[in-house]
Amino acid sequence: MSIDMDDFIDFVRNNLGESAWVPLYKKLNKEDRSEDGSLYSCLISPEDTSDAMEKYGWDLSRGEGGPSIVTCGDKHDYEQSTTAVLPLAIYRSFHGTRE
């Protein structure tokens, strides 16, 4: 089902948080790609909330914020989180190595 940006914004303004279930991820999927948007839920510390709400942009995108293994030459490092904003669900990608 294709929705437009007006429907997506209306959902966020008027319906989000009004039912028993809250979507962790919702994407605007316009077939002709003329409009693009998404909702990706996360946790943020109370002291960072005001700053995050004032910004126009992404604090976290799908696939960010989870643990990561960083390889540089022969050196391998493990990062528990790549951001202070914590995703409620972690999107994982195996880059084609697994289904």
Whole-number pLDDT of residue 3: 67
In the predicted model, is pLDDT for residue 98 greater than 70?
Answer: no
Pick the most confident of 7-11, 22-26, 46-50, 60-64: 46-50
The Cα–Cα gap between 69 and 78 comes to 5
What distance in Å separates the CA atoms of residue 71 and residue 60, rounded to the nearest whole number? 22
Nearest of 23, 34, 31 to residue 62 by alpha carbon: 23
pTM of the model: 0.54
